[in-house]
Amino acid sequence: MTIAVTFPGQGSQKPGFLEPWLSESKHRETLERVSDAVGIDLIKHGTESDAETIRDTAVAQPLIVAAGILVWDALVARSADQLAGVVVAGHSVGEISAAYAAGVFDAPTAVRFVARRAELMAADAAATPTGMAAVLGGEPDAVVAQLEQLGAAAANFNGGGQIVAAGSPETLAAVQAEPPAGSRVIPLKVAGAFHTRYMDRAHETLAAEIEQFEVAGPQRPLLTNFDGARVDSGIQFRQLLVDQVNRPVRWDRCMETLTELGVSGLVEAAPSGTLVGLAKRAMRGTPTVALASPDDLEAVATLLDSAAQ
């Protein structure tokens, strides 16, 4: 039996969510180091900045990845001997945190990659007004068909009865007016239609710069949002990270793979809550821990102990 450690995507950030971690100097030093690597004050954004400031894609994405790096380091420091067989996966930008946890990227490379990704995606989002909305409920194939009929794209297949639609404001308004059968639609506070054709220029530019980001082979099982499969090549995973910029996120398939692997628990790194919630619906009966603060490390250690027995 093993445990999955997962990393959330954009939209999971909350004002002040890193405050509990910075009481320890080693965690503050980690954030200082990655802040210096990209020229963004991630300590300020993780503790003082308001919701609107950290909603900005160019801030949100590096902040979430930096949090993943910090939390993984804290987990290694607390439970290194118990992490050998852990499976790691991330949702959207969380895949970059997962790449760090797997050893594909080192910390400076991870934050340089995400900062460039965020810059390019923010530029595409600014070029054309777009947004996203969560479609909750409904039969998945029927939901996708209705979205396509209305001109929207299915950008995230999150599992647990949730698909995220993306498109122009007019298109999303049409989805709200004509929701797929058996569903309800909730607009999301996201700055663009990520993981769709609206991100094509970002994908093209990042693909041309891919060799600037060095990689190593994964040191532990690592899943991809492309189809939920395990990836054993750092070079391949880097390419998949680039390609996911304008391709749908299949978190549903990641959870299916985790179930097939027989994981006995799921941990979500800060800013936690989203993936634990999805797992409770799609991986019923699987114990979960939302690793929101250092106080939660003991619960993770207990979960790891139970998996080893």
Active-site positions? 92, 195
Amino acid at 95: E
Task: Compute the C-alpha angle 78/38/128, nearest 5°.
Answer: 115
| Gap between the Cα atoms of 73 and 107, Å rounded | 10
For residue 249, give the 3-state DSSP assignment.
strand
Nearest to 99, CA basis, from 261, 238, 207? 238
| Number of C-beta neighbours around residue 203 at 10 A | 21
- Distance, in Å, from the CA atom of 304 to the CA atom of 267, rounded to the nearest integer, reads 10
From the centroid of its chain, how far is CA 196?
Answer: 16
Torsion angle, alpha carbons of 265, 223, 248, 39, to 10: 100
Please give the biggest Cα pair distance in the chain.
54
Give the Cα separation of 140 and 252 in Å (integer). Answer: 11
Angle at 153 between CA 278 and CA 52, to 5 degrees: 65
Residues in Cβ contact with 236 at an 8 Å cutoff, skipping those fewer than 6 apart: none
d(CA 278, CA 309): 26
User: Cβ contacts of residue 144 below 8 Å, gap of 6+?
Assistant: 154, 163
Report the residue count for the chain. Answer: 309
